[in-house]
Structure 1
Amino acid sequence: MSVASCLLLYSFVVAVLGPRLLARLTHAGLAPRLGLAAWLAAIGSVVASWAAAAVFLLAELLDDWNQPGRTVIGACFDALGAVASGRAGLLLQIGLLLLTALAAVALVVLVWRLGRSLLRARARTFEHARMARLAGRHVAGLDAVVLDAPERAAYCVAGRPHAIVVTSAAVAALDERHLDAVLAHERAHLAGRHHLLLAVTRGLATILPRIELFTTGAAEVARLLEMCADDAAARSHGSRTVLRALLALSGAAPIPTGALGATSVGVLARAERLAAPPQRADRVRARLLLTAVAVVVTVGPLLTGALAATGLAFCGSMAS
């Protein structure tokens, strides 16, 4: 089996089995950072496998161009050459040309849609940050822009510079300690560049909505990012303070698209996690499992390609 075929098979296995396994390991949020790393490693390994498979396939086709029949790829290419030249019939020739054109167009469209999605998200958040700074007011000692609004909301948006937005209703509903915890939560989002991770994962889920690894992964990444921000705020203000602030803002109006808000995703699961922190043994077990998964899916494409290449070289030497 060629390196390209092995990489495609590997990506298929990860795309099919990965979502259910990772969702089970990360659902409770025992180790959100490692859970996030595992999801991103799985998504990245599948995309990297596709790209590497395309490169290896092209290399194999070029290598077999003048040596048809030397490998399975060469035999297939020879047959495709017969179809492309019209020796197998005009209809098959036209069909192959149409299929090739459609595949090329599909690839270009996918790349273009992902790029457009990322650029639109960037433009939208930058514009919202700019408008928030213009429409809001600055309060002495408050590292945020205050918008006069009846809804309780707090969120951050990427921009130049970034902006943390808090409504006047949220300021009125929170005391100083709870407001500081909310702001620490939003600062953790910005410091970790969480908006970039969300933009990429949501972009992949948008352009490839039938692949569960991307759709489920985008939702789980968003939830784990909120848990990571909760932990960052809890380290300086305590879990109970973050929990009370979260509950005080729960049920508020939805935040703008592309923004990261304290109550935007998984409020109930996060509240339960803050109210009853997991036992140390459970955290250690989750960390070990997630570390193992992250390492496996990270080195998976390299190991798969290396094993396939070694097998091909061995078979080639035996044949000679």
Structure 2
Amino acid sequence: MTVAACLLLYGFAVAVLAPRLLLRVSHGSAAPHVALSAWLTSIASTVLAWAVALVILILDLVTHQVRTVPHRFMDTCLVHLHDAVVGDYGSPIQIGLLLLAGFSALAATTVAVRLGRSLLRSRRTTLEHGRMARLAGRHHSGLDAVILEVDEPAAYCVAGKPHTVVVSRGVLDALGDEHVAAVLSHERAHLTGRHHLLLALTRGLTAVMPRIDLFAAGAVEIARLLEMIADDAAARIHGRATVFQALLALSGLSAGAHRMAEEGLATRLRRLSEPSAPIVRTRARLALTAGAAAAVLVPLASVVTAIIAITICSPLEN
């Protein structure tokens, strides 16, 4: 039970510390791949810690196997809690704690079911969107994309079977061939990198637990970083200047309700027009690595220290 409590505290500490640290060090986006890894590591460690803690707690309360472990390995408060669960402090307290365990399991199951439904709904919507786009447009073998005969500018990708890149007639008429190729490379980079899976998962976590800043801020930041990673992939093929001009032209065409977020657009354009020097990218990678380590490993070190202290300082049984 001590391990479960420590894991719960660890997950809480990461959920509180990680957003502030990572937002501060990843804002410049000189190293989007490292920033993405830092966010995903923090989110995954938090979810895993809470899930394992809940499983340990439920199993312990239901099976009472904690009595097989010497008391010197656990905190006195947790020993009293276990005694209450097995009925040493009376039936009312025992029933109340068992009900609490049941409600915790029910809450966790509800969150898992809602997350699963959110992911399935997102997948169904994506597959249906791709099917409708292929029906409404026509496949262009030269571009390997589906063209929609509409003046409204649009260029996006839809994951599915098969993956589909969609571009509107408005984009083809407004951009030159090399700029269209850069836009399509950007969209294919999303599909190759399976960015849709990361977006679906982070947005699903935000939908079921919107008040946790790590998930809410992480979903927004991960979406922004994925756009930059796709920009970089397209720039390696067509050059930064071409991708910059294509992005600038698209932002001008979309200057209405569908215009890209100003801050995200400005950051992407600045990265393409003024690439960071190697020393700046190296410093950014080091800062991001240090930020992720501080957010994940410092709470972990505290948990390990607490367990060691309990083990050493608890009185030995005679």
Indicate whether the TM-score tops 0.5: yes
- CA 1:151–1:301: 2 relative to 1, 3 Å: same
Q: Is the 8 A contact 1:38 1:294 kept in 2?
A: yes
> In structure 2, how many angstroms separate the alpha carbons of the residues matched to 1:60 and 1:50?
15
Q: TM-score by structure 1 length?
A: 0.86
1:283 paired residue among 264, 276, 281: 281
1:170 is aligned to 171
Bigger RCO (CA 8 Å, 6+ sep): 2
Given the alignment of the two structures, is residue 38 of structure 1 paired with residue 43 of structure 2, yes or no?
A: no
Structure 2 counterparts to residues 301-316 of structure 1, below 5 A: 306-315=304-313
> In structure 1, how many angstroms separate the alpha carbons of the residues matched to 2:313 and 2:60?
16
1:74 is aligned to 79
- CA 1:18–1:215: 2 relative to 1, 3 Å: same
CA shift for structure 1 position 234: 0.6
2:2 is aligned to 2
> In structure 2, how many angstroms separate the alpha carbons of the residues matched to 1:186 and 1:263?
15
The letter of the residue matching 2:66 is D
Q: Is the 8 A contact 2:25 2:291 kept in 1?
A: no
1:63 is aligned to 65
Q: What RMSD over aligned residues (CA atoms) do the two structures have, in Å?
A: 2.9
> In structure 1, how many angstroms separate the alpha carbons of the residues matched to 2:278 and 2:244?
20
SS where residue 57 of structure 1 aligns? helix
1:258 is aligned to none
CA shift for structure 1 position 294: 3.8
Q: Is the 8 A contact 2:155 2:166 kept in 1?
A: yes
Structure 2 counterparts to residues 97-116 of structure 1, below 5 A: 98-116=99-117
> In structure 1, how many angstroms separate the alpha carbons of the residues matched to 2:104 and 2:156?
41
1:134 is aligned to 135
Question: Aligned pair count?
Answer: 310
> In structure 1, how many angstroms separate the alpha carbons of the residues matched to 2:131 and 2:38?
34
CA shift for structure 1 position 308: 4.8
> In structure 2, how many angstroms separate the alpha carbons of the residues matched to 1:123 and 1:130?
11
> In structure 1, how many angstroms separate the alpha carbons of the residues matched to 2:8 and 2:98?
23
> In structure 2, how many angstroms separate the alpha carbons of the residues matched to 1:236 and 1:212?
36
The letter of the residue matching 2:270 is E
Q: Deviations over 1:113-169 (max 9, x none)?
A: 000000011111111111211221122411210011121110001110100000010
Q: Is the 8 A contact 2:84 2:90 kept in 1?
A: no
More off after superposition, 69-78 vs 15-24: 69-78
CA shift for structure 1 position 14: 1.2
SS where residue 30 of structure 1 aligns? coil
- CA 1:223–1:21: 2 relative to 1, 3 Å: same
Q: Is the 8 A contact 1:156 1:165 kept in 2?
A: yes
- Runs (5+) with no aligned partner, structure 1: 256-261
Structure 2 counterparts to residues 1-320 of structure 1, below 5 A: 2-58=2-58, 61=61, 62-65=64-67, 71=74, 72=76, 73-82=78-87, 86=91, 93=95, 96=97, 98-250=99-251, 252=254, 266-295=264-293, 306-315=304-313, 318=316
The letter of the residue matching 1:75 is H
- CA 1:20–1:296: 2 relative to 1, 3 Å: closer
CA shift for structure 1 position 220: 0.2
> In structure 1, how many angstroms separate the alpha carbons of the residues matched to 2:69 and 2:37?
44
CA shift for structure 1 position 190: 0.3
The letter of the residue matching 1:235 is R
> In structure 2, how many angstroms separate the alpha carbons of the residues matched to 1:22 and 1:156?
28
Q: Is the 8 A contact 1:254 1:264 kept in 2?
A: no
- CA 1:126–1:301: 2 relative to 1, 3 Å: farther
The letter of the residue matching 1:47 is V
Q: Is the 8 A contact 2:18 2:295 kept in 1?
A: no
SS where residue 64 of structure 1 aligns? helix
Q: Is the 8 A contact 2:182 2:242 kept in 1?
A: yes
